[in-house]
């Protein structure tokens, strides 16, 4: 899935999680590709017949309406999609009695479904979709020198420090003669024990991830030759040793060395979203300094360029999903009218918008997030939308310095 497709599905799953029924009226249906549509429809007909036994008249009516709606939609499919099909359907109350509305969602999952599930409940069961959307691939990180070792995981955009251990290996000493040789032997033995301990910790943190098939590789870094001594000998589990994809010279072995390792390992990790986002924001800063005519930033400036043929890439902070916009269409000339409220409270005070072109009022208005508006406006156009996490340092830089929105022009 592209980042945009993943975002849309994540947002839909969040919306589905917020929906609740008055009783056990909401249907969740997971259809694996191995199950024929005709068989599923036959199964639902049996459930429709069984629903006659529901005591509550309103619940019975709502469940039957949902089942009939699902069967009508499934008849539009000649065969089950390659990854299967997920259906959510039910009567959702909007406010008080009489505000209920039947809603149905059909989703082709991003991964192949292996289970058939039919469930009638007061909520939609989105667990399988959430599992598919969870970031699975990760990279193990080991930073070490003679004094300490740090273990971390790079998972999607996030670096999680797992542990830090010290070696107990002494540094330089002033002994000479036979004492010097004796100290050197002791130090080498202590270093050997430390390397063994680093290997044991690597097994503890990374071997299960490897066996689960989610460990994409291991990065090893640190100052001096220590890391090579560790890698070139049999201190690591043989399966983990095969997962080492790079050994890097960096200045520190502790947590402060993680940032340097991320920079030096960027070629190895170009598929990891954290690195991709970092490069995009750094490229933006470079263009601002060297080719300012090829970039735009700030909400108003970028929004004014959405139909510009020069627009190539739009960088939008994930935090813009929390910023509401009001959209309407002029009753007179059909012009789209967009308004950016200064606060969420202001949203509820807006009843209509005025067209800037002909000064007429708009037809029905709707409130969506600024990120949703960008997705709608750029869909089908040449320009690419890149959604940048607000959790990283670069993402915070985009959010605070450029109000969460910037663009490259070509």
Tell which of 108, 132, 156 closes a domain.
Answer: 132
CATH number for the domain spanning 184: value is 3.30.420.60
Residue 29 lies in a domain: yes
288 and 254 share one domain: no
Q: 193 vs 252, which has greater pLDDT?
A: 193
Q: What is the mean pLDDT of the chain?
A: 89
Residue 374 lies in a domain: yes
Nearest partner of 275 among 132, 392, 399, judged by Cα: 392
Residue 359 lies in a domain: yes
Residue 19 lies in a domain: yes
Question: With bands split at pLDDT 50, 70 and 90, how would you rate the model's confidence at 124?
Answer: very high
Residue 1 lies in a domain: no
Average pLDDT of span 98-104: 87
Residue 109 lies in a domain: yes
For the cut 70, the answer to whether the pLDDT of residue 352 exceeds it is yes
CB 123 within 8 A of CB 26: yes
- Output the pLDDT for position 300: 93
Tell which of 271, 303, 325 closes a domain.
Answer: 271
Nearest partner of 337 among 321, 352, 347, judged by Cα: 352
What are phi and psi for residue 270, nearest 5 degrees?
A: -60, -20
391 and 281 share one domain: yes
CATH number for the domain spanning 68: value is 3.30.960.10
243 and 364 share one domain: no
Number of domains in the chain: 3
For the cut 60, the answer to whether the pLDDT of residue 173 exceeds it is no
Question: With bands split at pLDDT 50, 70 and 90, how would you rate the model's confidence at 219?
Answer: very high
For the cut 80, the answer to whether the pLDDT of residue 366 exceeds it is yes
Model confidence pLDDT, tens digit, residues 383-410: 999 999 888 888 999 999 999 999 999 8
- Output the pLDDT for position 41: 97
Cα–Cα dist 410/401, whole Å: 22
Q: 106 vs 264, which has greater pLDDT?
A: 106
- Output the pLDDT for position 172: 58
Tell which of 80, 112, 132 closes a domain.
Answer: 132
For the cut 70, the answer to whether the pLDDT of residue 171 exceeds it is no
282 and 403 share one domain: yes
207 and 249 share one domain: yes
59 and 159 share one domain: no
**Residues spanned by the domain of 117:** 6-132
142 and 267 share one domain: yes
Residue 283 lies in a domain: yes
For the cut 80, the answer to whether the pLDDT of residue 153 exceeds it is yes
- Output the pLDDT for position 344: 76
| 56-65, 172-181, 246-255: range with lowest mean pLDDT | 172-181
For the cut 60, the answer to whether the pLDDT of residue 176 exceeds it is no
Cα–Cα dist 6/29, whole Å: 21
Average pLDDT of span 99-112: 92
- pLDDT above 90: percentage of residues in the chain: 56
Average pLDDT of span 75-94: 94
Residue 297 lies in a domain: yes
18 and 103 share one domain: yes
64 and 106 share one domain: yes
- Output the pLDDT for position 5: 79
| 118-127, 200-209, 346-355: range with lowest mean pLDDT | 346-355
For the cut 90, the answer to whether the pLDDT of residue 123 exceeds it is yes
Cα–Cα dist 346/100, whole Å: 27
- Output the pLDDT for position 178: 57
- Output the pLDDT for position 177: 52
Model confidence pLDDT, tens digit, residues 242-293: 999 999 999 877 777 888 998 888 877 876 778 888 899 999 999 999 999 9
Please state whether the predicted TM-score (pTM) of the whole model is above 0.75. Answer: no
105: Cβ contacts below 8 Å, ≥ 6 apart: 12, 16, 87, 88, 89
231 and 301 share one domain: no
263 and 321 share one domain: no
- Output the pLDDT for position 82: 95
The strands making up 384-388's β-sheet, listed across from edge to edge, are 295-297, 405-409, 311-317, 384-388
246 and 341 share one domain: no
């Amino acid at each position: 899935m592209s980042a945009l497709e993943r975002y849309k599905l994540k947002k839909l799953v969040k919306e589905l999680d917020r929906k609740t029924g008055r009783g056990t009226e909401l249907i969740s249906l997971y259809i694996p590709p191995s199950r024929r549509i005709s068989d599923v429809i036959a199964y639902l007909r049996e459930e429709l017949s069984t629903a006659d036994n529901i005591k509550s008249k309103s619940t019975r009516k709502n469940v039957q309406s949902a089942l009939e709606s699902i069967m009508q939609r499934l008849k539009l499919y000649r065969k089950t999609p390659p990854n299967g099909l997920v259906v959510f359907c039910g009567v959702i109350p909007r406010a008080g009695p009489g505000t209920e509305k039947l809603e149905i969602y059909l989703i082709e999952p991003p991964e192949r479904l292996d289970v058939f599930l039919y469930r009638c409940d007061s909520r939609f069961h989105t667990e399988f979709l959430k599992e598919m959307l969870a970031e699975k691939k990760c990279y193990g990180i080991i930073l070490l020198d003679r004094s300490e070792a740090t273990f971390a995981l790079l998972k999607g955009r996030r670096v999680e420090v797992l542990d830090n251990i010290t070696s107990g290996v002494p540094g330089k000493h002033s002994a000479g003669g036979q004492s010097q040789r004796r100290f050197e032997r002791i130090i080498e033995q202590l270093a050997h024990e430390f390397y063994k301990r680093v290997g044991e910790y690597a097994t503890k943190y990374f071997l299960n991830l490897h066996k689960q098939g989610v460990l994409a590789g291991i990065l090893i870094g640190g100052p001096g030759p220590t890391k090579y001594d560790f890698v070139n000998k049999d201190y690591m589990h043989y399966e983990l040793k095969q997962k080492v994809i790079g050994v890097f010279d960096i200045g520190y072995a502790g947590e402060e060395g993680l940032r340097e390792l991320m920079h030096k390992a960027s070629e190895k990790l170009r598929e990891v979203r954290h690195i991709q986002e970092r490069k995009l924001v750094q490229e933006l800063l470079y263009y601002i300094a060297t080719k300012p005519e090829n970039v735009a930033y700030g909400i108003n400036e970028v929004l004014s360029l959405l139909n510009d043929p020069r627009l190539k890439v739009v960088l939008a902070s994930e935090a813009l999903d929390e910023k509401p916009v009001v959209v309407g269409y002029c009753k007179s000339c059909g012009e789209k009218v967009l308004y950016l409220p200064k606060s969420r409270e202001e949203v509820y005070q807006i009843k209509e918008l005025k067209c800037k072109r002909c000064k007429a009022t708009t037809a029905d208005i709707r409130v969506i997030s600024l990120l949703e508006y960008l997705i709608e406006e750029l869909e089908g156009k040449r320009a690419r939308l890149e959604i940048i996490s607000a959790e990283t340092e670069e993402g915070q830089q985009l959010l605070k310095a450029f109000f969460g929105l910037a663009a490259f022009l070509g």
